[in-house]
A and B are shown apart, each in its own frame.
Chain A
Amino acid sequence: MVKLVKGIIEDIELTRAYNQQLIALARENPKIVDVEADVGNCIFGPEFQKVFPDRYINLGLCEQSLSSVSAGMSAVGLIPFCHTFAVFASRRMCDQNYISVAYAKNNVKIIASAPGISSGENGGTHHACEDIALVRPIPNIVIMDPADSTAMRWAVRKAAETFGVFYIRAERLKGYRVYEEDSEFELGKANVIRNGKDVTLIAEGSLILNNCLKAAEILEKKGISARVVDIFTIKPIDVDTIVRCARETGAIVTAENHSITGGLGSAVAEVLCDNNCVVPMKRIGIPNRFGEVAQPDELLEVMHMTEKDIAEAAETVIAEKKRNEK
């Protein structure tokens, strides 16, 4: 069972939590290596390097090789955690991730930092709006965008223990703690982090989950009871929980730090369609447009991803539900 914490801002970034956990695991398991492509500094890589100089491999700027080289290292028995920014980990490494890593059934963990709009000031070229859409069709891949540092630590441990391909997003901005440290998670199992009966808000990742919680509070003031779910793993997706929420609350809003095409919103819609439980639904996320340079909080406004937008979407789907009931 997960245990919830309320309203504390994290004292570390998820990239830091990732790095600390990787170092801890590397002490237990000599097969773990950290493979980088010149953005190691952005995930505290030098900390790993200090402890394990021989197991920190910085290839330089060459993301396509980052993926294939990691596949090769896996083929001789190592467990590579290879990292670059999410834009490059998905777009630049797409074919290599598909063939060298996944199709060849290698044991590679792809760590994608600065997902979605969180690299705001680097501008549109650096916004990873479509990484989940690009990796989601890869068979058997596990996709996670941990909501907080507890979830991140669990994700990294699970990835190290499980043979197979993981794609883990690592937020660089500080978010809110959601889970107590001794929470127990399950791969493929979403977590209900606020109960409610009128609508379900399903979120992925730390950047937007907290906006869903704030939206739930806005809605509560209007007498609307909103359930909030952290999807936890985007793939495999928790069909049971989504179907149950659809049946129990009759209306769904998804919220993601990603394009509304091909990510969480699409995945949830697929579940509803496949399981004969289509209910009114809206997707919050990056609309069909490119990113632009600005601060992340400004971008949340520009892209209509704030708590207000989520609350409005919730009211819309609830109204649709009521119309359908008549």
Chain B
Amino acid sequence: MDELKRFALEIRIETLNMLSRHGFGHVGGSLSIADALAVLYGKQMRYDPKNPKWEGRDYLVLSKGHCGPALYSALAIKGFFPREELLTINKLGTRLPSHTDKNLTPGIDMTTGSLGQGVSCALGMALGLKVQGKPNLVYAIIGDGEAQEGQVWETMLIAPNKGLDNFIVLLDNNRQQLDGFTNDISSLGDVCKKAEAFGWFVVDVDGHDVAAIDQAIEECKRSDKPGFINLNTIKGKGWPAKEAVLGNHALRGAAFEGVDEALADLRRQLEEMQ
């Protein structure tokens, strides 16, 4: 588990480094999924960085595609492409655009950016694998703001009806969206109860506890229903000044003030763990 914790720290460091050097990016929601990505790419998912299209791989769709930078960090750390490439984020001609793109980046299996669509695409992948009798699993990460999209709830209805036990949705429930706090705009209410009522196998966890996330995925794998993991997270997690505050969705220019201290602090934490 210490290794997963270190991996999560490294994801946060790479993410903050690339976005602050570039001067723009979706910091808050990238930081909140670092732990989930660490568990997925550090332990749970089957993949081969040297052969990203390996047939035996599990799939991840980052439905909240604006958080590509966190996923790129995980992929680079695991060797899908050189770490230096992270610094090309959003530059003309890059393979790393702000929203994930399956035609550009090794290790990205679905193009997202228009919220709500990715999770349906993931459902399609799970369904398609099942129809072909294949054992691969499909994961999707959605945002709590994203979960206000009607298309998400179409997926919520369809997956249990089609018996997709090879499908696990992780909700990055960081309680914030672009315009503010989700509960002030349109609350998801008791989202676990809702998912359960739709026929999902539901686990409610601390989304920054790698052991708990790992355990939750194990349970979902054992279940014969599609899995729904409610990750209780903090938007901006890892950069204390940006945690759960307004204005942490996307940062530009001067809003990155203080990032050097935040990075130094994260690097120190990483050293202490080694």
B-binding residues in A (CB < 8 A): 36, 38-42, 45, 58-65, 87-88, 91-92, 121-126, 292-295, 298, 302
Q: Are A39 and B178 in contact (CB under 8 A)?
A: yes
Q: Are B92 and A38 in contact (CB under 8 A)?
A: no
Do A61 and B99 contact each other (CB < 8 Å), given the known contacts A38-B177, A41-B179? no
A-binding residues in B (CB < 8 A): 24, 65-66, 90-94, 97-99, 101, 111-116, 145-146, 148-150, 177-180, 182, 185-186
Can you list 27 A-B pairs, Cβ within 8 angstroms, ordered by A?
Answer: A38-B177, A38-B179, A41-B178, A41-B180, A58-B185, A59-B185, A60-B177, A61-B116, A61-B149, A61-B177, A62-B148, A62-B149, A62-B186, A65-B150, A88-B114, A121-B24, A121-B98, A123-B90, A124-B97, A124-B101, A125-B65, A125-B112, A125-B113, A126-B99, A293-B90, A293-B91, A293-B92
Q: Are A59 and B186 in contact (CB under 8 A)?
A: yes
Label chain A's interface by main secondary structure: helix
When chains A and B are docked, how far (Å) is the Cα of A92 from the Cα of B117? 11
| Residues on the A chain within 8 Å of B115, using CB | 61
When chains A and B are docked, how far (Å) is the Cα of A292 from the Cα of B90? 9
Label chain B's interface by main secondary structure: loop
Q: Are B114 and A294 in contact (CB under 8 A)?
A: no
Do A126 and B92 contact each other (CB < 8 Å), given the known contacts A41-B179, A60-B186? no
Name which residue of chain B comes closest to A92, CB basis: B114
Q: Are B92 and A294 in contact (CB under 8 A)?
A: yes
Name which residue of chain B comes closest to A45, CB basis: B179
When chains A and B are docked, how far (Å) is the Cα of A298 from the Cα of B113? 21
When chains A and B are docked, how far (Å) is the Cα of A184 from the Cα of B114? 39
| Residues on the B chain within 8 Å of A60, using CB | 145, 148, 177, 182, 185-186
Given contacts A61-B115, A293-B92, 16 further A-B contacts (CB under 8 A): A38-B145, A38-B178, A38-B185, A39-B178, A41-B178, A60-B148, A61-B116, A121-B90, A122-B99, A122-B113, A123-B90, A125-B112, A125-B113, A125-B114, A293-B94, A294-B90
Q: Are A123 and B145 in contact (CB under 8 A)?
A: no
Residue among A38, A41, A61, A62 having the largest count of chain B Cβ atoms under 10 Å: A61
Q: Are A125 and B146 in contact (CB under 8 A)?
A: no
| Residues on the B chain within 8 Å of A126, using CB | 99, 113
| Residues on the B chain within 8 Å of A88, using CB | 114
CB distance from A265 to the nearest CB of B (A): 25
Name which residue of chain B comes closest to A41, CB basis: B179
5 A-B pairs closest in CB distance: A125-B113, A60-B186, A293-B97, A60-B148, A294-B92
Residue among A41, A60, A92, A121 having the largest count of chain B Cβ atoms under 10 Å: A60
When chains A and B are docked, how far (Å) is the Cα of A60 from the Cα of B177? 9
